[in-house]
Amino acid sequence: MKKYESYKDSGVGWIGKIPSHWSCVPFRRIAKVQCNLVRPSENLTMFQISPDSIEKNSGKIIKTRTVEEAKVDSDNHRFYKGQILYSKIRPLLNKVTIAPYDGLCSADMYPISTIENTKYVMYYMLSEAFLSSVKNIVADRVKMPKINQDELKNTDFVIPPFSEQQVIVDYLKDKTLKIEQYVSARERERELLDSLKQSEIANVVTKGLNPNVRMKDSGIPWIGMIPEHWEVKRLRHFIKFVSVKGHGEKPLLSVTREQGVIERNVESKEENHNFIPDDLSGYKLVRKGQFVINKMKSWQGSYGVSDYEGIVSPAYYVCDLTFPCKKFFSMAIRSKAYIPFFTQYSKGIRVDQWDLSPIGLKSIPFIVPPIEEQQAIVDYIEAKLSKIDCCMADLQAEIDYLKEFKQRLISDVVTGQICVAKPQEGEQQ
């Protein structure tokens, strides 16, 4: 890659040398946080953007809500089209974007105006150089790290002459778009493989492995026919609610839609963790082989059989599981054939307030093959579908590499390690 002719020390260890005609200045020299509060009584029809609206490390807005949906309060701030919006909570997720319209943002966002090229400043905020500055600030903050205005104002920024900034923006826009298109194609491939795998799992746990077996109506519209010799029972036959507390020293577990029960990474400041109290004695003990359900998100698939011993939120259900082949139960219950049951038995005024009652959980039907067929289905899924898992893992590794390469490219360009802009006549090089 082409380099600039001469460099100087930036004065910041993690930035290193920068082109000799560039500057390294604190954020307050080039930008200003503008938190304009809004009154709840105002008649507003704008959209609201929150940290959840922005994809991490990409600068993209992935969802918005109307002001009515967001229930605007006095802590919300106005922002204006063209301003930078930056999430002050969990800053290592690097959620930053440029406002595409006027609107409101939650109190967890900073609306920012700059005297420099706005798109260049956003690219810099997406770079490893900026992220390293933020890491240095929040390094010792374990729970829900935040960056305040004074800390942000003192963050180091590398600034090229204004005449070069647009050239850098155009270069990065072109290169990152190509990377993003390639990533999107790989993500679609991975999603298709995952869909194929999930469809096959749902099929074999409800239809079996023998295509010639005699069938009967299950009585469940979305499942249809099942092998004639299989039974349909309710979960109450296999689960018993338990609540053992007082084991706050055990590792924390999470229940996720994608992976079921997993060990919780409490050290990672980049993950979107809920608040963790200092006293965990009220959390519920989970033993290996128990069935754990996030009752507020079970309709999304947030439940599973635990492979770990640990503790979970007291709001979760923990159940002893008496089922001949727990692997079959785990594969079946987490398949897309069963998620509609959890949706059907969850109740609430709004989707984000749906709750699964103990009676609702016990009422969910479960299709039970003979024990020998349960094991045969487990063996089939583990052996035959492992090839799909390998392909998905290869695709994910490629996706992760491309995302890292994109961030590294941005960082190298905005700190001058790669020369993409020729200095204008009269500027020092």
pLDDT tens track for 197-255? 999 999 999 999 999 999 999 999 999 999 999 999 999 999 999 999 999 899 999 99
Q: What is the pLDDT of residues 311-349, one digit of tens each?
A: 999 999 999 999 999 999 999 999 999 999 999 999 877
Amino acid at 237: H
In angstroms, the Cα distances linking 50 to 111, 163, 318 are 11, 33, 33
- Looking at residue 46, what is its pLDDT? 61
Q: How far apart are CA 418 and CA 205, in angstroms?
A: 54
Tell whether 203 is covered by a domain: no
Does 415 or 271 have the greater pLDDT score? 415
B/e letters for 196-210, b = 16+ CB within 10 Å, e = fewer, are ebbebbbebbbbbee
Residue with tokens 């200003």: 32
Q: How far apart are CA 142 and CA 90, in angstroms?
A: 10
- Looking at residue 72, what is its pLDDT? 52
- Looking at residue 428, what is its pLDDT? 47
Tell whether 275 is covered by a domain: yes
Tell whether 248 is covered by a domain: yes
Task: Report the chain's mean pLDDT, rounded to a whole number.
Answer: 88
Cα-Cα-Cα-Cα torsion 232, 353, 334, 55, nearest 10 degrees, comes to 160
- Looking at residue 270, what is its pLDDT? 47
Helix, strand or coil for residue 158?
Answer: strand
- Looking at residue 63, what is its pLDDT? 75
Give the pairing of strands 47-49 and 103-105: parallel
The mean pLDDT value for 80-95 works out to 90
- Looking at residue 137, what is its pLDDT? 84
The mean pLDDT value for 343-357 works out to 82
Band of the pLDDT at 66, cuts 50, 70, 90?
low
Q: Is-contact 261 308, C-beta < 8 A?
A: yes
CB-neighbour burial class of residue 5 (10 A; exposed 0-12, middle 13-18, buried 19+): exposed
Does 102 or 364 have the greater pLDDT score? 364
Please check the confidence at residue 58 and state whether its pLDDT lies above 90. no
- Looking at residue 385, what is its pLDDT? 83
Please check the confidence at residue 429 and state whether its pLDDT lies above 80. no
- Looking at residue 247, what is its pLDDT? 93
Q: What is the pLDDT of residues 245-297, one digit of tens each?
A: 999 899 999 999 888 999 987 655 444 445 677 788 999 999 999 999 999 99
B/e letters for 113-137, b = 16+ CB within 10 Å, e = fewer, are ebebbbbbbbbbbbbbbbbebbbeb
Q: Is-contact 161 21, C-beta < 8 A?
A: yes
In angstroms, the Cα distances linking 100 to 32, 64, 79, 279, 395 are 19, 11, 10, 43, 32
In angstroms, the Cα distances linking 306 to 242, 243, 261, 293 are 14, 15, 5, 10
Q: How far apart are CA 409 and CA 63, in angstroms?
A: 26
Q: Would the CA dihedral through 263, 265, 270, 273 be positive or negative?
A: positive
- Looking at residue 269, what is its pLDDT? 46
Please check the confidence at residue 71 and state whether its pLDDT lies above 60. no
* Adjacent-strand bridge partners of 61: 54
Q: How many domains does the chain have?
A: 1
Please check the confidence at residue 26 and state whether its pLDDT lies above 70. yes
Q: How far apart are CA 138 and CA 319, in angstroms?
A: 39
Q: What is the pLDDT of residues 403-414, one digit of tens each?
A: 999 999 999 999
Tell whether 332 is covered by a domain: yes
Tell whether 238 is covered by a domain: yes
Q: What is the model's pTM?
A: 0.76
Amino acid at 316: Y
Q: What is the pLDDT of residues 142-168, one digit of tens each?
A: 566 788 899 999 999 999 999 999 999
- Looking at residue 424, what is its pLDDT? 54
| N-term to C-term CA, the chain | 17
Tell whether 427 is covered by a domain: no
- Identify the CATH number of the domain in which residue 347 sits: 3.90.220.20
The mean pLDDT value for 374-384 works out to 93
- Looking at residue 77, what is its pLDDT? 81
Q: Which domain holds residue 323?
A: 231-368
